[in-house]
Structure 1
């Protein structure tokens, strides 16, 4: 054994410490304890021992130094070569240069007296600061907190001597730190619970196993499990990742406290386990909602108590929040607890509507499996799977939608299916399924309301596009609920047909706003829309049949019925509505025709449509007004000319117009109420006065014309007697010329129809009526003279056809005509002595009818009757 001076022993110990030569240090401490005192040796270790050296290498040496009990190392040899070359002076000089660290650092004096609150925070101040160090959170807790808790000085007793409970205030601070991390940075808390199994998971650096009593261990484990459940409630984010972390926390709590194991989240979301039966009734109280916000670590908090019931409740809440967030309705665990514990029906309905809206917007609309899964999840959120478990009928729904009726959920989901055009799936679930979720009436009303919503949201009145097409498809997708013969289906079809009819017209109800179908359905007076059509579409009044059909469709669709009927005014039946609508539309068309100066069309509608009373008794205030307006109409230069005059009408357009006005006023008199007759009678009297004045004027002109004709023919017959053939030819030419002139004066542009030809013949006969009458009397007188003179035998052909014979007959007829003119006044007053004169009107009618019959016969190629059989 080599004798070394104290200075060289200190240098050798420092050298061994630098080299981490623990056996050499142990030998020096054993043999030279009088020089290498405990404090000196510890300072050497603290200063020169490498930090990378595992603590397990030198823990035994420190324990031996503290207890001064070293093993027997008499046979071990110390190598003094590192310090043999130093002289005593050099060794002392080097010892003085050693800067050994003190065992008690000056900067630690202030922290030496800190209590457990600051101590716990100080120990964990750097834990989880950087996101990349999350995997080290478990190491810090295992190496810092667990050894610190095993110190007996961290524990104190509470309560009486008989029933005392050991408490660890420092452990409470650790749990508080964990919950704070959950609310601030939930990833740190989740990592801590994942990587640290609690106080029993301690890194004592080889100092042995933790020494705790059973009560202490139970106290620590229960607090740790409670902190895990509390941290799940405190996670503030509603992301799927955060909710996955909350599910990890409750799963760890169940595992650490030996509770019923919790299935993985993926399995739970797929299977949707029934959890209602596992949750005690006392946990579902509304007053427990306060415990989800305050006193989460309190032993009196039932929500965070590590029991199977609290774990099942938290599992249901986390799954509910996860399903809602996945669908597109972000929801935290605490929000799910509010919905489930408060049981506020209004808030739950808002949540249902938000969920269904998110399902419709975010998912693949064409995937039926997606919709089926979404429906199952929605129903699970109502009762947490109670229908799948035993005793479902006796258990009230407890889910986040527990206060919402199942019918409400099904109705809203059906609306979403129809809005997303999943008609076949909706029909399979709600109409063809054996256990139909909705009764017939509710199903009918829901489908009808959804179809009308699609109709109201459409912007195009074409039934083959947009919302109208969707409305039609919705109704036809449920043939059992809406058979074609049902009243509802007929109403919808009539509404679609009426709306589609409007697509053919230009229609603007408000300035700058195009017509939309919803206006038709909600308008208090849909016939007003037809009035707008007539106003904005020229000549549309000529489409009376189309407009009447549109009105009938409005009646069938129920649009004309009062929107808010009163008890004093019952709703009229459909027949009355149809009759009144028809009369009103006809009246509107009459007014439109008059506004466009088409009196002929208005007159036709009045005579053909309004003169016949309706089959049902209605209060009609439209027809008589329209007829009255037509009767008041006066011709202008813009008035549309008639296409034909007709057989019974006057050739004078003005007279004919007044006659038509009187007809309209007569119709108004027949259909108007008694209180309005005075106004109509006044208009009627004025029209008659105008007609009488025109007729008198026309008769005066006719008499003047007849007188001029008679005088002209008398002078011509006396002055010049042409041959019969020439006279006949010239008369025919004059007749043709007069006829053409008359026709050209009446209508110089329109082609002459068969009826116009008859009218022209009538006018020609009217102008030459006096000459025809005189000719007839002359012929009769001549025939009598010939008979009395014995010349009643048949004459030879040469006599009748010779110019002389013709001249004699013509002279006789002319003479007879002169005599007839001179004695016309006496013949009229003679009564029974002379032949009764044929009335001018009858002769005119006979001439017109004869011309018409001959013309029609010529047109069809019929053989004319013999001359003696003709009575005209």
Structure 2
């Protein structure tokens, strides 16, 4: 039967049960009173077990003072607004139970992992963690947990880590970072039982939602890992997350993290962080200036870590290749002074070459001579506007490349001359001719000899020349080609190669003033001139497509000499002159200008036949051209009365043709004599017909005027007027072979004994007769020198 008993008289077990009853009912004032009366019993481990009975919704500020008594090992004091123990006892009925029953009830109270009253911090820590989990499981009110734990944050490290790494992180996830249709991460119990890797990934996925990735990293991920750091590989998840930032192209985000986050506090972890920062630079594929600036930020940050002792245990290994960038043994990414020096050189080199950092490293450590040469060439002509660089930009580029060869080592397998040749070629292609002259011709530090400069000049000349669409040297590619030559020629060098190029330009420019196609519809381009197997044949096309151009024989000869010299280094001498004249004569004949053809042949071409070494080729042109002209028959002669049967101009033309054929006979080879003589015979027949017609015409005129024989004087014999026939010529040739001089004209003003006949013919007639005799004389000479075998004539053989 229950009886009213004073609280102070209760046994320790009954007092504990009474305190638990007040705690469970949330009557903290009564609980405090019991604790005051039984302070020796309700303290330490027992008091904390009783406090676990409080409703989870109880405001923490009401019982935190009781918890502090355990932490400080002090007695509970009476608060000003609390009732006295006597007042409480007078108003509460207390039922005593046996100590055995009370003890059983006590065993059912909540327990704590830590039960040693001497470990007060351990007791309180254990209680706070247990109480927090209870509140979370029953209410999910993270604000109550924070209110409970915050007062103990500075005193209890584990509570601080739990509060920052679990409660606060979970609070941010729930209240600040939650999004619709996102899976609920659960309470503290669920959050703490998650695998560290999985939880870290979830936290990293939410970083940045608050607007500041680094701040979120510091407030979410780092506190969580500091709390759960002894479990799993959460830091490895962060390293992977940072790697993925670079690989996905978020280089700016990576740099921001490295610049603003100091990394883990643990020295070994911070060394991993520093290595990762260097690795990120080599993984980055960006080449713009802002990316290189970011690498400088990373370099400076890691240098600070190294100066603070991070990576001091690293033993420097000189790198020999790029290697695996994620390899933890790669010397390029080891945080030490030497690797940072290499990084500094490579960042500058990558900036100059506009290639990724890893590519610059690979060229330096693994690139062959050809690889480095290729990188150099691509860089000098890099980008669509490379040719528009200013002089200052070219000079800056040149200094950078020389530095990379001698200092950074990215181009160390190339010689100074190789670097300069590529630069010179680029400057020439960009038409920076004054700059080229300033550096490589008149400068003191050009790095190239005169021969190398000349070779590069000629290469660039050919590039411009071959790509020109027009041969005019005042514009376009040929103008640039000429300007390139003038860097050296003739002031600094007058070598044969430069002279050839110069004369080729002159010839091409001269040809550009004529209408000239290489094939129908395809205009002649400079490259066609340079590679033509027989450039002189272009003049034949020129003569065909430009009427009256044959009259410019001197100009065409100059063009031909320039063409020959420009393509072969030798202007051809008289052979070129003869060939051009031959072309002009052929063109004149094709345009029915026989007089010009005759004049060129007799006054200029024939005189070229000498005994020089080139005479055979020249003679070949002479006889062929004279033969062609000697066979000429104007297609319009019959229309204008210029046939041999009409005398006058026709007879003069036949005489001129016979002269030409006579010249052909003088120099033609023996196999051609028959063909030339056949043409001569045809001309002779035309002459005989013309003379006969002329004589008949004169007789008709005499009859009309009734002129007597006396007045007319001694008549002309037909054989005096006609030139000697072929067989008569042959007889005279035979006599010449036997030592005779020039008897062909006997009877043409002399009788058989040498007496002179009187003649009253006109001076013109006598002149014509003399002309014919001279032609016959030439033919006779030709026969004597090469045709005796045709006639069966045997030269006189002097007696032995």
Task: Name the structure 2 match of 1:301.
Answer: 330
1:604 to 599, 606, 626: 599
Separation in structure 1 between the aligned mates of residue 449 and residue 373 of structure 2, nearest angstrom: 21
Deviation at 1:519, TM superposition (A): 1.6
Deviations 1:43-92 (A, max 9, x none): 448xx89xxxxxxxx9x969957965577773654699xxxxxxx9xxxx
Task: Name the structure 2 match of 1:523.
Answer: 532
1:121 to 193, 201, 205: 201
Separation in structure 1 between the aligned mates of residue 682 and residue 752 of structure 2, nearest angstrom: 38
Deviation at 1:708, TM superposition (A): 4.0
Is there any run of 5+ residues in structure 2 with no aligned partner, and where? 1-17, 30-41, 84-91, 93-136, 146-166, 168-184, 716-748, 770-800
Separation in structure 2 between the aligned mates of residue 469 and residue 843 of structure 1, nearest angstrom: 61
Query: Does structure 1 retain, via aligned residues, the 8 Å contact 2:214–2:257?
Result: yes
Deviation at 1:614, TM superposition (A): 4.4
The 5-angstrom pairing of residues 644-663 of structure 1 reads 652-663=648-659
Label 1:419 to 1:362 Cα distance change in 2 as closer, same or farther (>3 A).
closer
SS at match of 2:607: coil
Deviation at 1:707, TM superposition (A): 4.1
Task: Name the structure 2 match of 1:285.
Answer: 320
Query: Does structure 2 retain, via aligned residues, the 8 Å contact 1:505–1:533?
Result: yes
Query: Does structure 2 retain, via aligned residues, the 8 Å contact 1:507–1:532?
Result: yes
Task: Name the structure 1 match of 2:377.
Answer: 353
Deviations 1:366-402 (A, max 9, x none): x3222211111122233335xxxxxxxxxxxx31x23
Task: Name the structure 1 match of 2:235.
Answer: 171
Query: Does structure 1 retain, via aligned residues, the 8 Å contact 2:647–2:691?
Result: no
Task: Name the structure 2 match of 1:241.
Answer: 290
Task: Name the structure 2 match of 1:825.
Answer: none
1:491 to 500, 509, 525: 500
Deviation at 1:40, TM superposition (A): 6.2
Deviation at 1:596, TM superposition (A): 1.4
Query: Does structure 1 retain, via aligned residues, the 8 Å contact 2:369–2:414?
Result: yes
1:550 to 559, 582, 587: 559
Task: Name the structure 2 match of 1:668.
Answer: 664
Task: Name the structure 2 match of 1:378.
Answer: 401
1:100 to 134, 139, 152: 139
SS at match of 1:384: helix
2:226 to 139, 149, 162: 149
Query: Does structure 2 retain, via aligned residues, the 8 Å contact 1:364–1:370?
Result: no
Separation in structure 1 between the aligned mates of residue 205 and residue 69 of structure 2, nearest angstrom: 31
SS at match of 2:381: helix
Query: Does structure 2 retain, via aligned residues, the 8 Å contact 1:318–1:333?
Result: yes
Query: Does structure 2 retain, via aligned residues, the 8 Å contact 1:260–1:308?
Result: no
Query: Does structure 1 retain, via aligned residues, the 8 Å contact 2:458–2:485?
Result: yes
Deviation at 1:486, TM superposition (A): 4.3
Deviations 1:158-188 (A, max 9, x none): xxxxxxxxxx843333323322222222233
Calculate the TM-score normalised by the size of structure 2: 0.66
1:427 is the counterpart of 2:437: yes
Deviations 1:336-384 (A, max 9, x none): 222222113333222212211127824753x322221111112223333
1:465 is the counterpart of 2:494: no
Deviation at 1:607, TM superposition (A): 1.2
Separation in structure 2 between the aligned mates of residue 233 and residue 333 of structure 1, nearest angstrom: 6
Separation in structure 2 between the aligned mates of residue 692 and residue 376 of structure 1, nearest angstrom: 88
The 5-angstrom pairing of residues 809-828 of structure 1 reads none
SS at match of 2:307: coil
Task: Name the structure 2 match of 1:343.
Answer: 367
SS at match of 2:382: helix
SS at match of 1:74: coil
The 5-angstrom pairing of residues 560-575 of structure 1 reads 560=568, 574=570
Query: Does structure 2 retain, via aligned residues, the 8 Å contact 1:221–1:257?
Result: no
Deviation at 1:604, TM superposition (A): 1.4
Label 1:496 to 1:79 Cα distance change in 2 as closer, same or farther (>3 A).
farther
Label 1:224 to 1:700 Cα distance change in 2 as closer, same or farther (>3 A).
same
Deviations 1:526-564 (A, max 9, x none): 11211111111111111111111111222332x256xxx
Separation in structure 2 between the aligned mates of residue 220 and residue 659 of structure 1, nearest angstrom: 113
Label 1:443 to 1:677 Cα distance change in 2 as closer, same or farther (>3 A).
same
Label 1:191 to 1:523 Cα distance change in 2 as closer, same or farther (>3 A).
same
Separation in structure 2 between the aligned mates of residue 502 and residue 177 of structure 1, nearest angstrom: 70
Task: Name the structure 1 match of 2:692.
Answer: 696
Task: Name the structure 1 match of 2:459.
Answer: 449
Is there any run of 5+ residues in structure 1 with no aligned partner, and where? 14-28, 50-57, 81-87, 89-97, 155-167, 201-216, 262-279, 326-330, 386-397, 562-573, 715-768, 776-827, 850-872
Deviation at 1:585, TM superposition (A): 1.1
Separation in structure 2 between the aligned mates of residue 42 and residue 66 of structure 1, nearest angstrom: 20
Deviations 1:504-539 (A, max 9, x none): 211111233222222212212111211111111111
Deviation at 1:196, TM superposition (A): 0.9
SS at match of 1:358: coil
Task: Name the structure 2 match of 1:316.
Answer: 345
Separation in structure 2 between the aligned mates of residue 845 and residue 350 of structure 1, nearest angstrom: 84
Label 1:839 to 1:382 Cα distance change in 2 as closer, same or farther (>3 A).
same
Deviation at 1:580, TM superposition (A): 1.5
Query: Does structure 2 retain, via aligned residues, the 8 Å contact 1:356–1:412?
Result: yes
1:509 to 518, 521, 538: 518
Label 1:587 to 1:152 Cα distance change in 2 as closer, same or farther (>3 A).
closer
Label 1:71 to 1:352 Cα distance change in 2 as closer, same or farther (>3 A).
farther
Query: Does structure 1 retain, via aligned residues, the 8 Å contact 2:48–2:67?
Result: no
Separation in structure 2 between the aligned mates of residue 39 and residue 190 of structure 1, nearest angstrom: 49
Separation in structure 1 between the aligned mates of residue 521 and residue 544 of structure 2, nearest angstrom: 17
Deviation at 1:259, TM superposition (A): 7.6
Deviation at 1:638, TM superposition (A): 6.6
Deviation at 1:655, TM superposition (A): 1.4
Query: Does structure 2 retain, via aligned residues, the 8 Å contact 1:555–1:578?
Result: no
Query: Does structure 1 retain, via aligned residues, the 8 Å contact 2:66–2:76?
Result: no
Separation in structure 1 between the aligned mates of residue 370 and residue 415 of structure 2, nearest angstrom: 12
Deviations 1:174-218 (A, max 9, x none): 323322222222233222111111112xxxxxxxxxxxxxxxx33
Query: Does structure 2 retain, via aligned residues, the 8 Å contact 1:599–1:639?
Result: no
Query: Does structure 1 retain, via aligned residues, the 8 Å contact 2:271–2:335?
Result: yes
Separation in structure 1 between the aligned mates of residue 224 and residue 190 of structure 2, nearest angstrom: 22
Query: Does structure 2 retain, via aligned residues, the 8 Å contact 1:552–1:581?
Result: yes
Label 1:377 to 1:830 Cα distance change in 2 as closer, same or farther (>3 A).
closer
The 5-angstrom pairing of residues 756-795 of structure 1 reads 771=711, 773=713
SS at match of 1:582: helix
Task: Name the structure 1 match of 2:676.
Answer: 680
Deviation at 1:651, TM superposition (A): 6.0
Calculate the TM-score normalised by the size of structure 1: 0.61
Separation in structure 2 between the aligned mates of residue 318 and residue 492 of structure 1, nearest angstrom: 44
Query: Does structure 1 retain, via aligned residues, the 8 Å contact 2:323–2:330?
Result: no
1:584 to 579, 584, 591: 579
SS at match of 2:518: strand
- Give the superposed CA RMSD: 4.4
1:594 to 589, 593, 597: 589
SS at match of 1:509: strand
Label 1:546 to 1:843 Cα distance change in 2 as closer, same or farther (>3 A).
closer
Deviations 1:739-766 (A, max 9, x none): xxxxxxxxxxxxxxxxxxxxxxxxxxxx
Task: Name the structure 1 match of 2:628.
Answer: 629
Query: Does structure 2 retain, via aligned residues, the 8 Å contact 1:482–1:489?
Result: no
Query: Does structure 2 retain, via aligned residues, the 8 Å contact 1:199–1:221?
Result: yes
Separation in structure 2 between the aligned mates of residue 347 and residue 638 of structure 1, nearest angstrom: 75
Label 1:610 to 1:31 Cα distance change in 2 as closer, same or farther (>3 A).
closer
Query: Does structure 2 retain, via aligned residues, the 8 Å contact 1:455–1:517?
Result: yes
1:226 is the counterpart of 2:275: yes
1:839 is the counterpart of 2:724: no
